[in-house]
């Protein structure tokens, strides 16, 4: 639980240093919030939801935001992410928000090759979901 609070501080600090240039659209009057499954498969890999972030997760995200301050500016990156793990050391961090145009989400994947940021609208767990950027 302590690690989750730390991420809020790290993200908050990154946003305040970088400034908020992106603002979320107002909440939708009909979009359902994103349902995060207990597990899902993507590209032959099984991802399992974990109950909370670890200190290692906080360090990895802090380093990612330090190197990519524009991601920390994204209005979706607010609060604690939903975390998924895959063997041997893959981690996915998801944030989402219901907007006028539907559910928007952002994911940062760490530990399975180059760090990737994936974002999109709708179901992030579908086969054609999201737009990925490596770093």
Q: What is the pLDDT of residues 33-51, one digit of tens each?
A: 688 999 999 888 999 999 9
* pLDDT score of 24 more than 70: no
Confidence of residue 54 (pLDDT cuts 50, 70, 90): very high
The predicted model gives 70-88 an average pLDDT of: 91
Confidence of residue 79 (pLDDT cuts 50, 70, 90): confident
Confidence of residue 21 (pLDDT cuts 50, 70, 90): very low
Query: What token pair was written down for 102?
Result: 């539907």
The whole-chain average pLDDT of the chain stands at 78
Would you state the torsion angle of the CA atoms of residues 36, 89, 114, 68, taken in this order, to the nearest 10 degrees?
60
The predicted model gives 80-91 an average pLDDT of: 93
Q: What span, in angstroms and rounded, lies between the C-alpha atoms of 37 and 129? A: 15
Say if CB 89 and CB 111 are below 8 A apart. Answer: yes
Say if CB 96 and CB 77 are below 8 A apart. Answer: no
| β-pair type (45-50, 102-110) | unpaired
Percent of the chain with pLDDT over 90: 43
pLDDT of 6 reads: 44
Q: Which helix (H) or strand (E) holds 66?
A: helix 55-67
* pLDDT score of 117 more than 50: yes
| β-pair type (82-86, 45-50) | antiparallel
| β-pair type (131-134, 45-50) | unpaired
Query: Which of 96, 103, 63, 65 has its CA nearest to residue 82?
Result: 96
* pLDDT score of 8 more than 80: no
């Amino acid at each position: 639980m302590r690690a989750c609070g730390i991420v809020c501080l790290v993200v908050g600090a990154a946003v305040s240093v970088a400034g908020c240039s992106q603002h979320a659209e107002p909440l939708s009057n009909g979009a359902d919030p994103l349902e995060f499954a207990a597990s899902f498969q993507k590209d032959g890999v099984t991802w399992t939801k974990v109950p909370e972030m670890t200190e290692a997760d906080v360090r990895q995200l802090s380093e990612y935001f330090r190197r990519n301050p524009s991601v920390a500016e994204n209005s979706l990156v607010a609060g604690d992410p939903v975390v998924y793990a895959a063997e041997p050391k893959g981690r996915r961090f998801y944030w989402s928000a219901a907007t006028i145009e539907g559910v928007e989400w952002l994911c940062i994947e760490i530990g399975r090759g180059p760090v990737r940021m994936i974002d999109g609208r709708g179901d992030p767990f579908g086969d054609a979901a999201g737009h990925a950027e490596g770093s």
